[in-house]
Every structure is written in structure tokens, then in C-alpha cells.
Structure 1
Amino acid sequence: MKNFKTLNEKINSHLLKEVELNDDIRQKELLIAVMQLAEERTATLTAIIESSDDAIISKNLQGIVTSWNPSAERIFGYTEEEMLGESILKLIPPDRLEEEPHILGRIRVGERVAHFETKRITKYGDLIDVSLTISPVKNPAGEIIGVSKIARNITALRRAEEKSAILAAIIESTDDAIISKDLNSIITSWNGAAERIFGYTEEEVLGQSILKLIPPDRLQEEPMILGQLKSGQRVDHFETKRMTKHGKLIDVSLTISPVKDKAGNLIGLSKIARDITYKKLEEQRKNDFIAIVSHELKTPLTSMRSYIQLALAKVREKQDAFCENVLARAEVQTRKMYLMINDFLNLSRLEEGKMSLHLSRFNLTELVDEIVGDARILAPAHVIEYQNCDEVMVDADREKIGQVINNLLSNAVKYSLSGTIINVGCEISEEKVLISIADQGFGISVADQKRLFERFYRVSNDEVKNVSGFGIGLYLVAEILRLHGGDIKVESRHGEGSVFSFALRTA
């Protein structure tokens, strides 16, 4: 720093002249000691200024820069050579130029300006937030001869504060309970929605255990969740029940994330709890409605099928081709309706958690033969190829495995053009049998494949927009196979057809 070195040289020169005027040895020693002290202080001051993270700038009363430390260069981009002798106005945005005369006016009357937050402009035109502390510089006579300015770059701090303010506003305005807790399950934060959902005020729960909200029969969930988070996993949309201040059980969907410090150490947990009680009640009402309607429809439909089959047998005896054709079509449609009602009943049972498996040992080859035979009658416009595989026995729910194969074959028919080939495959290994259904249909995009087995999800594009369906068939297929300990796989490309497959253990 040039100005501090010059000051030090002036002090030394002045003191030496004083020594020459007086030969007193003790006075000379005293002056040398003073000179050494001044040099040490100057060196210390220079080191502080050079190493500071803050810009330290001095200027005269006309606003001309007289000193400029390395941090000033880092913050504003100008070198010392570029700024010495230049006006400080170079750093001030045009819309803030009135600040300089105002600050100088306060300095001239001996005031100090502390932590004045404003904006300044860098060499490259970037606006930055700064906090300024400005002090008067006085000569030995106490006259103000300049200004010392410390500028701290608070841009990152401002952005962090703005981000925190936005997050705080979101947390307070959301309809979801947002709660944080430490690794001992002690609550450390509690937003307004948490109070509305659970009934406890912030004062009542801060410092309390989160177990306060968990019903006694679900206390094992907390260590399970903590274990998952400690292993680095996030808990998404975990549906469970929690208890309010007044002892009411509510349905909630929990999303729980780890909270880590700067070093990446887990220090706590953040929990978002959404009250889904109303949603669950609506689902229950819908499932009850589906179950009742499906059950009531099934009884007359069974009778209708019986009457059609009897009538069909009679017209065949009379060799009435027209009536036989009409009744055969009616029988096909009642069979379709029967399968659809079965799907809805199974969906309702699945949603209620009441779908159970009735396991038995049966011949899977015979079941596939039956379903393929029915499919050839139901879909005469398609070529269904199937080479009977060797007899294979499995332990499974015959009716539900039949429903799986029926659904896959029905979809292959619906989503491929008339005259195309549908191939039913059967491969037997030592421990498993693999059933596959391949079509030459429209195919399924990669994006749709990711959601294909979700409840009520349907592919939406121009090719399939007129194909009827409710989006429950593949969902039920996936769930039935999951109950059997297996899964459904799909291989497909848009425009090239699809292959659905699943495996069962052989008995």
C-alpha cells in the first residue's frame, strides 16, 4: 500500500530531524523506540488491510480514491493502478449517485456511517450488494482530511436471505404440515399448517417427541423411517395414520427427507405431512359403490348368459344360422361384460386390502388352452398363434392367473389392427414357466411404459384415442402378480408392437 509506506517514511524523517537538534542520548534512544513502534504498527496495519476479505478504501473529501487494497480489487474488479486518483463515483450506480454527497456531508460534520447497505457496480457492470462502514480521517490537529471506507460484499448473504424469506413464506402458507426434528425424534420446527392439522400449537410441541403424534399400534414406524433415512434413502408418499391433539385418527401421506450439515453429516429430518383423510373417505365411498354396483350387475348378467347359452343350444339344433350368429355375438358381449365387472370387483377388493389368493395346484397349460380358445372366438378378426407347451403344474390362484392372461390377450386385441398376429408363448425351465403375449400393435413409448401399470392410467395418443377402457386392467395384472411374488414385464417400441410377459414358479 503506497500511501502507508509514504506515511512511514515521513514519520522517520521528521523524528530523525528532531534527534539532530538534540544530542541527548536518552532522547535519541526514546525516539528510535518510537520509530520502531510506528514501523511495527504500520506493518501490522498494512498486513490487516492486505489480508482483509473486505474492501478497504480511502478517499479525500472530493471523493478521489487515495488507497485501494487487494480485496477491493477482488470485489470490484479494478486494480489499484486503475483506481488511485479516480473518483469513487466510478463504483456507484447512476440511480444512487445522490448517496455520495449525502455520506460526505455526514463525514464533514464528524459523523461515522456504520453498516449502510446499498448497491455498487463492478468493473464488469455487475450490481452487487454491499454493506459500507465509513469513517472520517483526521490530521493531528483534529481536522477532517479524508474518508476511510470498508465495503463488505453481502450479495450471497442477500440472496440467501431472499431464498430463506421465500422458503419461510412457502412453509407458512402451505396446506401441508412441515415439521423438522432431530435424530432423537425431538421436534425442532412446526408450521401453521401443522397446528391446523394436528391441533397442537408451536409452543406445545417444540422440544417434544414426534411420538406424540403416532398411534400406539404404529410406533414401530418411527425407527423404521429413521433407519431408512440414516442409510441415505428418502421416504416418499408413505401413507399411514397419525393422531391429533384431541385423539382423532387421521390419514396422512408423509414425505421425509434427511437434513445434512455442510460436511454432509445427517443432523436431522424434514417431514411434510399431507392430510388425506377426505381423499381416503372419497376412495372408500367410490370402492363401496363399485363393489355394490358390480355385485348387483353380476347376478342378472349370470342369468342372462345362461339364457343366451340355452337359446344358442336350441337354435343350433334347428340349424337357424341367423339366430345362431346373433346369439353367439350376444354371448361374446355378455362374456366381455362379465370380465369387466370382475375387474371392477377385484379393484374394489384390492383398494380395501381384502383381495386374497385362493391357492391351488393346477395345470397352467390347460388354463392357457382354454383362454386362447375363448380369445379366438371373441376376436375372430385377429390371428392368435399358440403352440401348446408341455404340461406344467403351478401353485397359484387359478381364477386370478386366468384374469391376468385374459387381460393381456384382450389388450393385445384392442391395441392392434385386424388381421395382425398375436403370439402366445410358453417357456418352461426347471423352476419357472414364462408366459408371454406379443402383438403387432401400435407399441408403447418409453414415457408411457413408466406409468403403464398405474391405476386408471391410459396411453393418450391419436392411434388409441378411440379404444375403450378404464385403465384398470394392467393395474390389476401387476397387483395380482405382486401378490403371487412376481411382476409383469413389457418390451415395446412405438409403432413396432409390444411383448408382455410374466413368470410363475413351477410346482
Structure 2
Amino acid sequence: MPKTLPLAKQIKELQEKLAWYEERELELREREARLQMAVDAIKFGTWDYHPLTGELSWSDECKKIYGFTGDTEINMKVFSEHIYPADYDFVNNEIQKAMDPAGEGNYDIAYRITRFDNAGVRWIRAKGKVYFNEKKQAERFIGTVTDITDTKTAEEKNAKLAAIVDSSDDAIVSKTLEGIITSWNQSAERTFGYTAEEMIGQSILKIIPPDRHHEEVEILSKLRRGERMEHFETRRMKKNGEQLDVSLTISPMRDSQNNIIGLSKIARDITEKKQEEVRKNDFIAMVSHELKTPLTSLRSYIQVLLVKAGDDEEPFKINALKRADIQTKKMAAMIQDFLNLAKLEEGKISLNKTRFDLDELIKEITDDAQYFTSAHTIKTETHPGVIIEADRDKIGQVLMNLVSNAIKYSPRGGEIIVGFEQKDNNVEIYVIDNGVGINPVDQKNLFKRFYRVKNEEIRTISGFGIGLYLVAEIMRYHNSEIKVKSEEGVGSRFSFQLPII
């Protein structure tokens, strides 16, 4: 007979085995708890399907994804009814594939569902594994489900954006904050002659002429501060060395935390437009020169006649000739504006800087301006002894433009003030009127070439929209800026600063 262990020893062994099983069960529960915590943390829903019995169970997170809040029993029929109709055949085929014992039992698909609560359409990703019994029957099918609607929406948006970028007629380029190119669309290939393979990973300086490399430093500096550049006109270089005129719009690209991570650049080839502008400016310059000669002669004749009428003491003739003289001066100023515009567009404008007394220049300008109007009072707020170094003629042109505008847009009897005040090492020069004023929208565009304020009150006032553009450009050449403060129905204040010697 086999030897029987003492009862006490048998009980001890049973207790040890029981303790071992309890420890394993505790470990298993802890693992399941950690797994459940991980699943809950990443918003995974879980499902468990037993094909042989038809039993299907969903976790709380899975029910939440499907919008299931009722007490209805979950089964394959209910599940199938909430597969988006267009995806139904695809999903069933994938389930059958996974449950085929000839395969490995893996299941990983993305498809759409209709929610139980509001019939809303959502994208989900279902991933699972089928387990087979000894008879190669699918015995258990378990897995996870995740709502990927936001990801799918972003993918669709990116796909549409990519299609737009690729089909755009403008060159669209993205680059890092260090100026390294990260994308290069088909239009960029056509415009500059480089393929995407040749440019991605290269410095943007590859297409910038050497004499314009400083522009990139300025552009990157502005964009790093989150600023946007619109319609910046410059020149860029093609693969064959040919230069072309482009208009650049550059914007910062940000991540989800609003950090600037790169730059997006749209470059439009404006070579033909620039050539057309050159032809137009040549025509304007030619016509202006042709008009200037007879106008000079006409003014000379008027001056002679004014002297003669004064000798003859004929008040009517004197008055008529003074008015004619004023109109010829206005025409001469207009022609000079067109000539200056042509020079500016051709880059032929230059500064002849000298030192001069600002008070004297302002008095000259206001005296000449008062000659043009008897319906307005022009006052000065100046004092002698303020010396600046600038192009005297061009600063005079700026002031005459500003005062002429103040006269044009102020009511009869209005007051115009021209003056200056010292601000540290600068002097701020200003022209103030109590005219119609300018609305905020027009103020943003006021210094653009050929821009005219859209206001019924001034519709009948003549002008070409080049005076303030020339003012802004002359100030830019002086490393200064023209500023405006204005309120409709109250008036305007134009000002700029220059350094004091």
C-alpha cells in the first residue's frame, strides 16, 4: 500500500497551495485593474463577442462612443444596424475574414457608425483578435474601439488643403524659422525651375539674389514675432539665374500650443505686371514732360500779363489772371507728382540732404499755400532755430501735399495748423485740419498708390490718389513714417518725425 502522509502534513500542503493560488489570483486582478485603468485613460472602449453563443458585451466607454444609453440588449443585430450603410459590406467582410480559421484572426479596421442617441455619424477604429477552439471554431472575439472622428476630419482637411496647394497657380513654400525649406508645391517648381527634391532641405537663400539676402533676415525677424507680411514686392532668382518680380505673402505657422514652428510663403509672379507698370510709367513721364514745357510758357505769359494789368490798374484782369496763375500752379504740381511717381517706380528717386532751418521751410510752404485759398486760415506753430538734415525740396513737397489736402477736404472758413514739437532727439512735424475726417478702414489704405477715399461728401473733389503715396515713400526714403489720426466729422492730424541736428 502507498504510504499515506500524515493528515497534518496534507492540510499544510493544501494550505500552501491555496495561498499560492490566492496570490496568483490577486496578481491577476491587479493586472486586470491596471489594464482597465490604461484602457480608460486612453479612451478605449472594449468589446467581447462569443460567436458560438451569440453573446456580445460592451464596456461603458464603448457604449459612450456609440451613444448607447438604453437598456436594450447588445447583440450582433443591434451592432450591425448602427454600421454606416455605405460601410456595412466592408465591415462584415472584415469580420468574416478575421473569423476564418485559415487566417491569423487579426482585425484592424476604420469605419463609420451612426450613434444610438442622435444618429450622428462618427468614425471609429476597431482592433481585435479572434481565438479558436480545438475544432477550429471561432470561440471568442475580443478587442478595442476608439473614436477617431477628429483625426479623420483633420486628415480630410489636410488632404483638401494639399490638393489646393498642389493646384494653386501661386508658388507655395513652407520653411523652418531658420529658413530651411520643408515643402515646395508644383507651382513653385514651374515658377523657379527647381524640383521639390532639389529644394526641400535647402536654404531659401538659394532663390534670393545675393543683394537681397538682407530681406530674409528682416522677414524672419518679423515672422518670429508673430507678424504677417502681405504683398511684399521684391525679386527672386530662378534656377537658370534669371530674376523675376514676385509679390510675397508670408504667415507664421503655429502648433496646438500656439507656438510658431515655421513659416508659410505664397509667391506670385508679377513680372508681367511690373513690365506693364514700367510701360505705363514711361508713358506718364513722357506725357508729363510734354505738358510741362508748354505749361511753363503759359505761366510765364500769365506773369507778364499780371504785371501789365497791374500797371494798367484793371482789377478784373488782375483777378482773372491771379486765378489762372493759381490753376497753372496746381497743374504744375500735379505734373510734378506724376514725374516723381515715375521716378519712384523706376527706383530713380534720390535724396539731396542738406541742413536747413525747419521754421523757414514751413513759413515758405504756408505762405505759398495761403496764396491758393482765401477761404481757409493757415496758422503755424513753430519757432526758429530747429535745424534738421533732409532733402529740403522733398520735405517741402511732403508738407505742400499735406497742406493742399487739408485745404481740399476742409470746409470754407476752416482752420489749418502746420507746426512741430520736439520729442527727445527728434522733431515731430504735423498738419492739422478740421475737415471731413477719415474712417478707420480708409486710414489703413490711405497711403497706397491710386487709393481714393470712398466718401460721398468728397466725391466731387478732384485727385488721383498719388499725393499721399508719394508722401509715404519720401518719408520711407528718410527712414521715417507718415502717421494719421482722424475722426469723421472732426478732422485729421498727419505727422512724421525727423532727427534734429
TM-score by length of 2: 0.80
1:12-58 Cα offsets, whole Å, 9 max, x none, are xxxxxxxxxxx999999999978976775676456535532432112
1:75 aligns with 2:62: no
2:416 maps to which residue? 423
How many angstroms apart in 1 are the aligned matches of 2:128 and 2:194? 49
**Pick aligned residue for 2:345 from 345, 348, 351:** 351
Please state how far the C-alpha of 1:333 moved relative to its aligned partner: 0.9
**Pick aligned residue for 1:314 from 291, 294, 308:** 308
**Pick aligned residue for 1:340 from 303, 322, 334:** 334
State how 1:27-46 maps to structure 2 within 5 Å.
44=31
State how 1:196-275 maps to structure 2 within 5 Å.
196-222=190-216, 225-226=219-220, 236-257=230-251, 269-275=263-269
How many angstroms apart in 2 are the aligned matches of 1:463 and 1:176? 40
1:69-91 Cα offsets, whole Å, 9 max, x none, are 24314423446xx4673345267
CA contact (8 A) 1:63 1:87 kept: no
CA contact (8 A) 2:87 2:112 kept: no
How many angstroms apart in 2 are the aligned matches of 1:364 and 1:207? 54
Please state how far the C-alpha of 1:197 moved relative to its aligned partner: 0.9
CA contact (8 A) 2:192 2:238 kept: yes
* Deviates most, 243-252 or 33-42: 33-42
Cα 1:224–1:460 shift into 2, 3 Å? closer
Specify the code of the residue in structure 2 equivalent to 1:120. Answer: I
Cα 1:291–1:465 shift into 2, 3 Å? same
2:435 maps to which residue? 441
Please state how far the C-alpha of 1:494 moved relative to its aligned partner: 1.0
Cα 1:85–1:173 shift into 2, 3 Å? same
Cα 1:256–1:135 shift into 2, 3 Å? same
CA contact (8 A) 1:64 1:85 kept: no
Please state how far the C-alpha of 1:283 moved relative to its aligned partner: 2.4
1:289 aligns with 2:283: yes
**Pick aligned residue for 1:86 from 66, 74, 77:** 74
* Deviates most, 294-303 or 129-138: 129-138
* Deviates most, 100-109 or 464-473: 100-109
CA contact (8 A) 1:242 1:250 kept: yes
How many angstroms apart in 2 are the aligned matches of 1:490 and 1:55? 61
* Deviates most, 482-491 or 148-157: 482-491
Please state how far the C-alpha of 1:415 moved relative to its aligned partner: 1.4
State how 1:40-79 maps to structure 2 within 5 Å.
44=31, 47-48=34-35, 51-52=38-39, 53=42, 54-59=44-49, 66-78=56-68
CA contact (8 A) 2:82 2:116 kept: no
Cα 1:116–1:363 shift into 2, 3 Å? closer
1:401-457 Cα offsets, whole Å, 9 max, x none, are 222222122212221233x31222435559665544333321111222222222222
State how 1:166-177 maps to structure 2 within 5 Å.
166-177=160-171
1:491 aligns with 2:485: yes
Identical-pair percentage: 44
1:394 aligns with 2:387: yes
How many angstroms apart in 2 are the aligned matches of 1:282 and 1:138? 77
Please state how far the C-alpha of 1:173 moved relative to its aligned partner: 0.9
Where 2:458 maps in the other structure, the secondary structure is: coil
Where 1:426 maps in the other structure, the secondary structure is: strand
Specify the code of the residue in structure 1 equivalent to 2:331. Answer: M
CA contact (8 A) 1:394 1:504 kept: no
CA contact (8 A) 1:251 1:276 kept: yes
CA RMSD of aligned residues (A): 3.9
Where 1:450 maps in the other structure, the secondary structure is: helix
How many angstroms apart in 2 are the aligned matches of 1:280 and 1:171? 25
Cα 1:185–1:451 shift into 2, 3 Å? closer
1:153-210 Cα offsets, whole Å, 9 max, x none, are 2212211211110121121111222234456655443211111011122333344444
* Deviates most, 55-64 or 240-249: 55-64
How many angstroms apart in 1 are the aligned matches of 2:15 and 2:72? 37
CA contact (8 A) 1:195 1:202 kept: yes
State how 1:32-181 maps to structure 2 within 5 Å.
44=31, 47-48=34-35, 51-52=38-39, 53=42, 54-59=44-49, 66-78=56-68, 82=70, 85-87=73-75, 89=78, 92=82, 95=85, 114-125=107-118, 126-133=120-127, 136=130, 143-144=137-138, 147-181=141-175
Specify the code of the residue in structure 1 equivalent to 2:247. Answer: S
Specify the code of the residue in structure 2 equivalent to 1:409. Answer: V
2:460 maps to which residue? 466
* Deviates most, 462-471 or 107-116: 107-116
Please state how far the C-alpha of 1:339 moved relative to its aligned partner: 0.8
How many angstroms apart in 2 are the aligned matches of 1:500 and 1:211? 39
Query: Runs of 5+ in structure 2 lacking a partner?
Result: 1-9
1:298 aligns with 2:292: yes
Cα 1:438–1:266 shift into 2, 3 Å? closer
Specify the code of the residue in structure 1 equivalent to 2:451. Answer: Y
Please state how far the C-alpha of 1:108 moved relative to its aligned partner: 7.2
1:451 maps to which residue? 445
Where 2:324 maps in the other structure, the secondary structure is: helix
**Pick aligned residue for 2:365 from 367, 371, 392:** 371
Please state how far the C-alpha of 1:344 moved relative to its aligned partner: 1.3
User: Paired residues, what number?
Assistant: 481
Cα 1:177–1:310 shift into 2, 3 Å? same
Cα 1:41–1:296 shift into 2, 3 Å? same
CA contact (8 A) 2:343 2:349 kept: yes
Where 1:463 maps in the other structure, the secondary structure is: helix
Cα 1:174–1:372 shift into 2, 3 Å? same
How many angstroms apart in 2 are the aligned matches of 1:260 and 1:387? 50
How many angstroms apart in 2 are the aligned matches of 1:484 and 1:218? 20
Please state how far the C-alpha of 1:63 moved relative to its aligned partner: 10
* Deviates most, 382-391 or 351-360: 382-391
**Pick aligned residue for 1:412 from 406, 409, 420:** 406
Specify the code of the residue in structure 2 equivalent to 1:119. Answer: R
